[in-house]
Amino acid sequence: MFYPKLSIIIPCFNNGSLLAVLIECIRRQTFEDWELIVVDDQSTDATPSIVRGFEQTDKRIKLIVRSQEPKGSATCRNIGFDMATGKYIIHFDADDLISDTCFENRVKFMDNHPTIDYASFPAMAFTDPDKLPSFHDKGRLYGADQDDIDLLKRFLSADYPFSTWNNIYKRTALEDIRWDEKVKIYTDFSYIVPGILKGLKHQFSGQEEIDYYYRVNPPTGSMCSTFVSPEKCSSTIYLFSKTLDSLSKRADYKKRKKQFLQFIVLHFERLVMDGDKTKVQDYLVFCEKYFRGNIATSLDLISKIVIGIQNLKLRKGVLYLLIVLRFGYLKYFKVLLKQLK
């Protein structure tokens, strides 16, 4: 039986043409001791046949079609993990790209740092595959922070220093950490935060070279195309409640709860901009449960003032102004300044 050193897991749904490009990147890797497990979420297009074409020519590539409920990337990733045999695990998205030395650098780093559970490597966004960014280009750089940062604070504040695709994991560290199959959005958050709470040892690579390129504005078929569908609204309330319940067991719960409020407000903003009063009200019921008093009252008042504004640009401006006045969050203040210029 084939037991590679590295297992790569990729869920996909109706994204075969872009996935084919990523698979070609994987086949060009300078490190060759890997297996690729593609878990198809019951695509309705040619995606399975595209992957089978690769499977027939490269024994390291395996296609699995999801045969259990529920539908979604989390289920697919759990299936892939259960099938994986590598010492190290990497999770990728189907529409992204990697450098030719991605696997070599990640595996070497883990081999040289046996006491850590996972490591993060630099990643940047791209829109044009013919013009991929470099490490020192302008733009948001993920996976290149200092090791002394407060990871939990960053994720609770919706300021992700990395995502799962930045990382390489020691397989043994993940044995009791599953992707929550009820979560349909913020899935990276739902997977990374439990690992932080468990105490997994993490390190940034310090590498000044991009090894992962994530696609922005992907075509239809992305698993996370909207924030406010009914299913994703319910999922968010479930995830946020679960997170707060986990944090409540910690001695620093009050501090962490305050940090998490930034993420709570971020999703509130998205709901208000969408303009569905029922979804906003459902979310406010959740907020009242965990943030009784002035905070819940403030969010309720802001929603009533803003949601009736028909002009979306004006709605956003008033919403951001009220959030700045009530919570003082710098992100919204910066956006307001740009709008005034």
CATH code for position 135: 3.90.550.10
| E runs forming strands in the chain | 6-12, 34-40, 61-65, 88-91, 97-98, 118-120, 123-126, 167-170, 202-204, 212-215
Residue 220 lies in a domain: no
What type of residue sits at position 234? S
Do residues 23 and 127 both lie within one domain? yes
Domain's final residue, options 183, 215, 247: 215
Query: Could you tell me the sign of the dihedral formed by the alpha carbons of 199, 201, 207, 213, in that order?
Result: negative
Q: Are residues 42 and 165 in the same domain?
A: yes
pLDDT in tens, 187-203: 999 999 999 999 999 99
**Does 168 lie in the same domain as 247?**
no
Domain assignment of residue 329, given as a range: 230-340
Query: What is the pLDDT confidence band of residue 337, given thresholds at 50, 70 and 90?
Result: confident
**Together in a domain, 33 and 145:** yes
244 has pLDDT over 50: yes
Radius of gyration of the chain (CA): 21
Q: Is residue 1 part of a domain?
A: no
Number of domains in the chain: 2
Same structural domain for residues 149 and 258?
no
In a domain, 225, yes or no: no
Which tops the pLDDT comparison, 332 or 176?
A: 176
Which of 243-252, 292-301, 327-336 is the most confident on average? 243-252
* Integer Cα distance of 174 and 170 in angstroms: 7
**pLDDT for residue 222:** 41
Q: What is the DSSP string of 36-73?
A: EEEEE---SSSHHHHHHHHHHH-TTEEEEE--SSSPSH
Are both 94 and 162 inside the same structural domain?
yes
Cα–chain center distance at 139: 18
Shared domain for 200 and 263, answered yes or no, is no
- Phi-psi domain of 143 (left: phi exceeds 0; alpha: psi -120 through 50; beta: other): left
pLDDT tens track for 88-134: 999 999 999 999 999 999 999 999 999 999 999 999 999 999 999 99
Same domain, 196 and 321: no
Question: Are 280 and 141 found together in one domain?
Answer: no
125 and 241 part of one domain: no
Whether residue 261 lies inside any domain: the answer is yes
| 209 and 85 share one domain | yes
- In whole angstroms, give the CA distance from residue 15 to residue 21: 11
Q: What is the mean pLDDT of residues 25-45?
A: 98
Residue 51 lies in a domain: yes
Q: Which residues contact 294 (CB under 8 A, 6 or more apart)?
A: none
* 94 within domain boundaries: yes
Domain end residue (candidates: 173, 190, 215): 215
Is residue 273 over pLDDT 60? yes
Residue 340 is predicted with a pLDDT of: 62
Q: Note whether residue 170 is domain-resident.
A: yes
Q: Which residues contact 197 (CB under 8 A, 6 or more apart)?
A: 152, 246, 250
Q: Tell me, what's the pLDDT at 220? A: 44
- 77 found inside a domain: yes
Task: Summarize pLDDT for 214-235 with one digit per residue, the tens.
Answer: 999 754 444 434 788 999 999 9
Model pLDDT for residues 245-256, shown as the tens digit of each residue: 999 999 999 999
- Evaluated on CA atoms 262, 268, 272, 275, the torsion sign reads positive
**Final residue before a domain boundary, out of 191, 215, 239:** 215
Task: Clarify whether residues 105 and 171 are in a common domain.
Answer: yes
Taken in order 322, 262, 260, 177, the sign of the CA dihedral is positive
Residue that has been written with the tokens 């409540």 in this structure: 248
